Amino acid sequence: MSEVIPLTSLARARRGDDPARLERALLKKVGQAIGDFDLIAEGDRIMVCVSGGKDSYALLDLLMVMQQRAPVGFALLAVNVDQGWPGYRTDVIAAHLAARGVPYQMISEDIAAVVEANLEPDDTPCSLCSRLRRGVL
């Protein structure tokens, strides 16, 4: 007979169909990290880099909820870096941020051209892209 391993609250929340339960579990984890590492103080301005992927949207959403509930006041600024890759839809990201009422800044840099000029076709561009993106930020 196999051993029963208790699920964490986050794992239980992921398993269910209740989005509010998942949000509560994630907010608890985010709040714990903020408290444990003293991440946010009164008057902080926090840049949230939004790529258009689910992870960055989720982080922004969680921080927006925390902003309403937190005992300290802090500001959020969403930032997107258009790296110049064909088909990247900055208009969709900007529309989402505007609809949510989030202050945002869209930055456009031709990182794609630098990557293509400096890497061999078989090389993975992720490391170079991330370094160039951080440099822009």
pLDDT in tens, 40-56: 999 999 999 999 999 99
- In this prediction, residue 1 carries a pLDDT of 47
**Mind listing the domains of the chain with CATH numbers?**
1-39 (no CATH), 40-136 (3.40.50.620)
Please determine, for residue 66, whether its predicted confidence score (pLDDT) is greater than 60.
yes
Please determine, for residue 13, whether its predicted confidence score (pLDDT) is greater than 80.
no
pLDDT in tens, 67-84: 999 999 999 999 999 999
Backbone angles phi, psi at 16, to 5 degrees: -85, 175
- Alpha-carbon distance of 109 to 46, in angstroms, equals 22
Record the pTM: 0.81
Rounded mean pLDDT of the chain? 89
Please determine, for residue 100, whether its predicted confidence score (pLDDT) is greater than 60.
yes
Dump the DSSP string for 78-106: EEEEE---TT--HHHHHHHHHHHT--EEE
Lowest mean pLDDT across 73-77, 101-105, 106-110, 114-118: 114-118
